Amino acid sequence: MAHCNGSFTILAFFFSLAFLTAIKSETMFARELSARDQFRLKPEKMTHLRFYLHDTVTGQHPTAMPVAQAATTNTSATLFGIVTVMDDPLTVSPDLNSTLVGRAQAICASSSSRSGMSLTMTMNLVFTEGAYNGSTLSVLGQNPILKNPRELTIVGGTGIFRFARGYVQLRTHTFNIKTRNAIVKYDAYASHY
């Protein structure tokens, strides 16, 4: 009899546990997953991407344009206060006609009021080439445009680049003082799964 009673207690315990778990899964908003078993993350790897950004400010088809500026921007040697939105093509070589790998879509604010030109950048690198088509890297950082190289932070990504972190080095390839158009070499180092 004591044995019977014990089994019943244990059964009742498991039933109530199952019941409680069912209630819990309907109401909870957060739960921990095992990254390896449930999320199926592969071992972490590092990808190096190299491409050239074409920043076209003037001409028939500008891909970067100012959208706002401070009343004092025109008198500032560093163009402090100007905000630019860009949708610059990214290609495999400095030639604009070479293979397109994606676009850099960004909001840049000229944010150095005293010395040197510096942009605060919020940028998504939106890739369209091969296996990377549809994947993005999100980049943040300070871009002192006269320094070579300069470095921005990769803060995340989507698609192939989920959970990405890393950095991007920028080097000015060409800058045309007359047109203000530039070609910038990007070396992105992204750690992801």
**Quick check: 96 binds ligand NAG (CB under 6 A)?**
yes
User: Which window, 42-50, 84-92, 109-117, 125-133, contacts ligand NAG (CB under 6 A)?
Assistant: 125-133
Each residue 126-165 as x (binds ligand NAG by CB under 6 A) or -, in order, gives --xx---xx-------------------------------
Phi, psi (deg, nearest 5) at residue 98: -75, 175
**Quick check: 65 binds ligand NAG (CB under 6 A)?**
no
Residue keyed to tokens 């676009």: 103
Decide: helix, strand or coil at residue 187.
Answer: strand
User: Which window, 40-48, 59-67, 92-100, 102-110, contacts ligand NAG (CB under 6 A)?
Assistant: 92-100
The secondary structure of residue 43, as a DSSP letter, is P
Q: Are 117 and 146 spatial neighbours (Cβ–Cβ below 8 Å)?
A: yes
CA-wise closest residue to 191 among 48, 49, 46, 50: 46
**Quick check: 74 binds ligand NAG (CB under 6 A)?**
yes
**Quick check: 18 binds ligand NAG (CB under 6 A)?**
no
CA-wise closest residue to 123 among 53, 59, 56: 53
**Quick check: 97 binds ligand NAG (CB under 6 A)?**
yes
Which residues in this chain contact ligand NAG in the complex, by CB under 6 A?
71, 74, 95-97, 128-129, 133-134
